[in-house]
Amino acid sequence: MSIAEETKDKEWPAALDFTMQTLDGKEVHLGEKYDGKVVLFVNVASKCGYTPQYKGLQELHKKYGKEGLAIVGVPSNQFGGQEPGTADEIATFCEKNYGVEFDMLSKVNVKRSEEDQCPLYQYLTDKEKLPGIGSDVKWNFEKFLVGRDGEVIAHYGSSVKPESKEMVAAVEEALAAKPAE
C-alpha cells in the first residue's frame, strides 16, 4: 500500500492540508510530506535585498534537517518583480549561489491582491483563523513557523534572519516538542 493510500483518509492540520507543486512540477500534499515535522515556510525571491537569507536558510536546513526541520521556499514575484525567473532559473540560481538543498515549491502569489492568493497563504495570513499570527505578507522572505503538530507557531518579518537568536531559539523549541502519536 502506498503512503498516499495509507493516508488518504487522515485528517491533516489546516496549515498542511494543501496540495502544491514543487519547483520541478511534481504535486505534493504538504501533510503527507511534512507530517510530524517542524516546517518553516518562506516566500523567497532571487533579486531582493533579503536574498542572502538563502544562506541562513540552508544553514538551518543542514543543522536541523535531520532533527525534523523542513525549510520550504515559496517563490513569489509579487514584491517589486524580484522573482521573475522560470522554475529552472530559480532552481539554478538557488543551487549555484547558495547550495540550496531544502524543498522549493513552484512560484505562487503569497499576498492578497487582485490576483489569486494561493490557498496555503490564504490560510497562513488569515487573521481570524490565526489570531496574533495571521497577517498580510508585506515583502519577500517573511517566515511562517509550523510546529510538529501542524499548528502555526509564529510569523516573522523579512528582517528576521534565519540565523538570528530569535529564529534559532524558536526552531529549537519547536523541534523539542514531541510529535503527536
Q: What is the mean pLDDT of residues 21-42?
A: 96
Could you tell me the residue range of the domain that residue 134 belongs to? 18-175
The answer as to whether 2 is a domain residue is no
Over range 19-47, report the average pLDDT.
96
- CA 97, 75, 134, 136: dihedral to nearest 10 degrees? 110
3, part of any domain: no
- pLDDT, tens digit, for every residue of 79-107? 999 999 999 999 999 999 999 999 999 99
**Residue 118 annotated as catalytic:** no
Alpha-carbon distance of 94 to 45, in angstroms, equals 10
Residue 83 resides in a domain: yes
Residue at 9 is within a domain? no
Q: Is residue 1 part of a domain?
A: no
With 0.75 as the threshold, say if the pTM is over it. yes
pLDDT in tens, 35-53: 999 999 999 999 999 999 9
Reply yes or no on whether the pLDDT at 30 is more than 90. yes
Residue 5 neighbours by CB under 8 Å, 6+ apart = none
Which residue of the set 14, 48, 87, 160 is catalytic? 48
| Residue pointed to by grid coordinates 529564529 | 167
| Residue 13 pLDDT greater than 50, yes or no | yes
Question: Which pLDDT value is given to residue 11?
Answer: 86
Per the structure, the count of domains in the chain is 1
Q: What is the CATH number of the domain that holds 95?
A: 3.40.30.10
Question: Is 59 part of any domain?
Answer: yes
- 8 in a structural domain: no
Beta-carbon contacts of 48 under 8 Å, excluding residues fewer than 6 positions away, are 79, 80, 82, 83, 139, 140, 141
